[in-house]
């Protein structure tokens, strides 16, 4: 294996004076499918990385850590995407987020929205309740867990929603729709559902519901069975089912 394909040591990001730009450079080496997007090719990614590096130099703590910002794209390459789940922005408490939408690695109890998602998972496919909220297994199964904003500031939810990340979300959804043969788009909540017009429904499955937050007054997420419906669609089109039970991933086709 060539040296430039190996993951960067986390210590390298922690000691770098430009940690976000370094994470971006690593993504460019590891995820060629995504970095063909105009967001990366035309300088927008570099502009945002430079702004985040400036904030880091000024003492602002980012969530997730710079090394984890692009984890969704690194763990789920374009040519392996089978399902798309969009979130809004990372958990703002230090140590909770690690670059995957809804995924939680913090020390406290699982956040409310993720509890609703995992409860629906158990009801839908009849699996035991997961012990943790880490969704890395889904990402490795071809489930793109992408936040609309890849970063926020520790202690401040939504701080980077207008930084320019949303252009990346639009381009990612459009690229998947155009280049992948059969993908299930699970669009939960108003922000995710705004991307529905970017999806070619003649090729792909789109499941739209309200947000899994317990504050969703419509309560239209519980009972929507997105996991089994996605698998039925993928199986019908020969794309292989996702192993949704956390902790038992299988190889993607």
Residues catalogued as catalytic: 89
15, two tokens: 């000691």
φ, ψ for residue 207 (rounded to 5)? -115, 115
Kind and range of the H or E element at 146?
Answer: strand 143-147
32, two tokens: 């060629």
Would you call 122 exposed, middle or buried from its count of C-beta atoms within 10 A (0-12, 13-18, 19+)? Answer: middle
List CB contacts of 68: < 8 A, sequence separation 6 or more: 97, 98, 99
Residue entry with tokens 């109890």: 109
Give the residue among 71, 68, 27, 72 at the shortest CA–CA distance from 45: 27
B/e letters for 70-109, b = 16+ CB within 10 Å, e = fewer, are bbbbbbbbbebbbbbbbbbbbbbbeebbbbbbbbbbbeee
């Amino acid at each position: 294996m060539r040296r430039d394909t190996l993951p960067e040591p986390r210590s390298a990001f922690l000691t770098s004076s430009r940690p976000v730009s370094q994470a971006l450079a690593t993504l460019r080496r590891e995820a060629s499918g995504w970095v063909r997007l105009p967001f990366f090719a035309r300088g927008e990614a570099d502009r945002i990385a430079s702004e985040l590096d400036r904030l880091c130099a000024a003492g602002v703590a980012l969530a997730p850590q710079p090394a984890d910002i692009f984890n969704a794209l690194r763990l789920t390459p374009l040519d392996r995407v089978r399902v798309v789940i969009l979130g809004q922005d990372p958990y703002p408490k230090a140590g909770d987020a690690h670059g995957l939408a809804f995924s939680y690695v913090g020390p406290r109890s699982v956040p409310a929205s993720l509890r609703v998602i995992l409860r629906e998972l158990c009801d839908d496919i009849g699996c035991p309740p997961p012990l943790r909220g880490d969704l890395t297994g889904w990402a490795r199964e071809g489930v793109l867990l992408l936040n609309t904003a890849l970063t926020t500031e520790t202690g401040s939810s939504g701080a980077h929603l207008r930084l320019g990340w949303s252009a990346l979300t639009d381009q990612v959804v459009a690229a998947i729709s155009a280049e992948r043969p059969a993908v299930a788009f699970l669009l939960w909540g108003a922000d995710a559902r705004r991307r529905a017009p970017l999806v070619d429904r003649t090729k792909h499955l789109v499941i739209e519901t309200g947000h899994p937050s317990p504050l969703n007054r419509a309560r239209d997420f519980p009972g929507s069975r997105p996991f089994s419906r996605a698998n039925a669609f993928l199986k019908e089109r020969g794309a292989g089912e996702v192993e949704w039970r956390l902790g038992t991933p299988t190889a993607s086709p």
